[in-house]
Structure 1
Amino acid sequence: MLPLEDGFSRRFYYLRLSVTDVCNFRCTYCLPDGYRPDGRKSFLSVDEIRRVVSGFAAMGTRKVRLTGGEPSLRRDFTEIIETVAATPGIDKIAMTTNGYRLKERAAEWRAAGLTALNVSVDSLDPRQFHQITGENKLAEVMDGIEAALHAGFPSVKVNAVLLRGLNDGQLAEFLAWIRDKPIELRFIELMQTGEMDSLFRDRHVSGEQIKTHLLEQGWLQQLRGLDDGPAQVFQHSGSRGSIGLIMPYSKDFCAGCNRLRVSSVGKLHLCLFGENGVELRDLLHADLQQDALIQRIRVALLGKAATHHLHEGNAGMTPHLASIGG
């Protein structure tokens, strides 16, 4: 079967699949007032997840990232991992988590088939971590990262959203932390969303200054794989860990786009900063609908734009990052 390709000859090997938009943290850049239920939502069932992942796998998707909200809040999360892992063609299964259940579940998830982890750690200072996330849980999250490495994950990616005046001056501390650990620390530029305009104006800082510093210190930029995320990754001979920079405002950021998103209620999103999304759920009720599902995804992909419009201050219809899985 022909691989997924849009009108700009970009091919898509990577699916970000949200399994819930519920989160128990209150991060300033995402859900500062905490999770606010929007009616009685019914999130994708395990069978619906199996069908949508199978459809994407049939078109060449190799990697699935399970996101939220906080995906581990689902009681059937381990079953979801097992289901995705059993899908022919899928060889990488990752999750993005706030890490609060990682210490107790890392080994279980690894055994279920999870191959990669991204954990959010926005500061190494406990008080600042509490200020940013609304939760005083840095010690538990750090213990979870150690548990993941002990459980056999070859490395762990750690996400830190850059926030001016809060954590943008902590590069030295972060570099010291990863010097002897197999951790890819990823600094993510704060992105404008519908509910975060004022925070963006006050706290946005470009990752270019970190990139300049890394290059001056002898860090070398690595080549990007077909199903890698959007980070520019840098390595140094004196560090076991690496640094990734996600800079959505950088030139040609969208040129290498290789990922699509499906929300926790079954909508296909062609871009994190796009419009309302394309309904898929009506085609997830039975295995016999796979051909129609594949056709709908292919047709929708032809409408994918060349780039987002963040530079014009247009964040699309995304109210906050948890709404479609970041």
Structure 2
Amino acid sequence: MLQDSFGRRFYYLRLSITDVCNFRCNYCLPDGYKKDGQRSFLTRSEIVNLVSGFASAGTQKVRITGGEPALRKDLIDIIGDIKNIPGIQTVAMTTNGYRLGSLLQGLDDAGLDQLNVSIDSLDPQVFQTITGHDRLNEILAALQQAQMTGIKHIKVNAVLMRDLNDRELDTFLAWIKDQDLTLRFIEVMQTGDNTEFFEKRHLSGAALQVRLLEQGWQAIIRNHDAGPAVEYWHPDYQGRIGLIMPYSQDFCRSCNRLRVSAEGKVHLCLFGDHGYDIRHLIQQPEQRPQLTDFLSEVLKDKKVSHFLQQGHSGITRDLSMIGG
């Protein structure tokens, strides 16, 4: 089992398969994706070798991220490959919803277990302001289709922003009353490129947490391979609420995930100072012991916290760079 010097164990891998994104979300890529040099993203065989190595060291869950993973033409093949790796119990994907409707059957057939869709507003005009795209109704329709597939767990991610979508909290709550999904509010996080936006739009989830508890929402015990959200359920609601509050005290204490970028670098933290190149260790299946030995060694460098509270965002220029 991969473990750091603070006793945290890592069951969960977030794997970016591209850093390209076609949306222009104001908290991430407000000016759109800009290519800065040649890109050589991990191949299917490299991904299989990579995930197999992680699985041999105890990783049980893999989340496919981007950029926007649906921009990879071999996305469904990649998911099928990972699903068939011994030891991997859960394959998840995070998407902005682009092409989701046309991909659903393939994703289901490939064995996708969990689907996270980013929907930052239920107001079409606000959604377009945030993302740069007038696609809300299209994405909501695809989400409804997803609920009729064999994909077991569906979540919606909404980045909580002051004076933008914070006015929609009642609308969001009413929406999940009869929706069998989890709606997760994520605090805006400061990155290298968004300091001014962060200072203007950051809103702590603490007030929302108090409100939920006052209204009878109850916390759910996290699974060992769960993501960073604290989730709540309510007897009168079919849906659940999750809060991701990276600026809260002890947020990093339960860290259970590592990240690999689309070009094959391990990142011990989303806001770390550098990545560790492992591409040379995933060219052949027989390199698996070398990979796991390397991972165990670099985990000694993992810090106790991300230090976001001190305004330190590491090398993360924007969230698409490493996979959020």
Distance in 1 of aligned mates of 2:313 and 2:100:
32
2:118 counterpart letter in structure 1: S
**Quick one: percent identity of the two aligned structures?**
53
1:222 counterpart letter in structure 2: I
- The CA deviation string for residues 238-291 of structure 1, in whole angstroms up to 9 with x for no partner, is 000000000000010000000000000000000000012100001111112111
Counterpart in 2 of 1:213?
211
TM-score by length of 1: 0.98
SS of the residue corresponding to residue 28 of structure 1 reads: coil
Work out whether residues 102 and 147 of structure 1, in 8 Å CA contact, stay in contact via their aligned partners in 2: no
Distance in 2 of aligned mates of 1:223 and 1:81:
28
Counterpart in 1 of 2:257?
259
Q: Alignment partner for residue 9 of structure 2, among 4, 8, 11?
A: 11
Counterpart in 1 of 2:180?
182
Counterpart in 1 of 2:200?
202
Gap regions ≥5 residues in structure 2: none
Counterpart in 2 of 1:135?
133
TM-score by length of 2: 0.99
**Match status 1:239 vs 2:237:** yes
Counterpart in 2 of 1:157?
155
Distance in 2 of aligned mates of 1:249 and 1:167:
19
Distance in 2 of aligned mates of 1:38 and 1:308:
26
Q: Alignment partner for residue 67 of structure 1, among 65, 68, 85?
A: 65
SS of the residue corresponding to residue 16 of structure 1 reads: strand
Shift of 1:150: 1.3
**Match status 1:111 vs 2:130:** no
2:317 counterpart letter in structure 1: P
SS of the residue corresponding to residue 211 of structure 1 reads: helix
Question: How do 1:21-100 and structure 2 match up within 5 A?
Answer: 21-100=19-98
**Match status 1:226 vs 2:249:** no
Work out whether residues 185 and 244 of structure 2, in 8 Å CA contact, stay in contact via their aligned partners in 1: yes
Distance in 2 of aligned mates of 1:138 and 1:109:
21
Distance in 2 of aligned mates of 1:172 and 1:153:
27
1:230 counterpart letter in structure 2: P
- The CA deviation string for residues 132-170 of structure 1, in whole angstroms up to 9 with x for no partner, is 000000011101101111122234100000110000121
Which stretch of the first structure deviates more once superposed, 154-163 or 83-92?
154-163
Distance in 2 of aligned mates of 1:11 and 1:154:
25
2:24 counterpart letter in structure 1: R
2:166 counterpart letter in structure 1: D
1:301 counterpart letter in structure 2: L
Work out whether residues 95 and 118 of structure 2, in 8 Å CA contact, stay in contact via their aligned partners in 1: yes
Distance in 1 of aligned mates of 2:177 and 2:50:
40
SS of the residue corresponding to residue 231 of structure 2 reads: strand
SS of the residue corresponding to residue 47 of structure 2 reads: helix
- The CA deviation string for residues 115-140 of structure 1, in whole angstroms up to 9 with x for no partner, is 00000000000000000000000011
2:130 counterpart letter in structure 1: I
1:297 counterpart letter in structure 2: L
Shift of 1:101: 1.1
Shift of 1:105: 1.0
SS of the residue corresponding to residue 169 of structure 1 reads: helix
Work out whether residues 159 and 185 of structure 2, in 8 Å CA contact, stay in contact via their aligned partners in 1: yes
SS of the residue corresponding to residue 166 of structure 2 reads: coil
Work out whether residues 19 and 67 of structure 1, in 8 Å CA contact, stay in contact via their aligned partners in 2: yes
1:311 counterpart letter in structure 2: Q
- The CA deviation string for residues 70-89 of structure 1, in whole angstroms up to 9 with x for no partner, is 00100000110011001000
Distance in 1 of aligned mates of 2:194 and 2:123:
24
Work out whether residues 100 and 144 of structure 1, in 8 Å CA contact, stay in contact via their aligned partners in 2: no
Work out whether residues 154 and 182 of structure 1, in 8 Å CA contact, stay in contact via their aligned partners in 2: no
Distance in 2 of aligned mates of 1:291 and 1:10:
21
SS of the residue corresponding to residue 322 of structure 1 reads: coil
Report the count of equivalent residues: 324
Counterpart in 2 of 1:123?
121
Counterpart in 1 of 2:274?
276
Distance in 2 of aligned mates of 1:57 and 1:293:
11
Distance in 1 of aligned mates of 2:217 and 2:319:
30
Work out whether residues 67 and 321 of structure 2, in 8 Å CA contact, stay in contact via their aligned partners in 1: yes
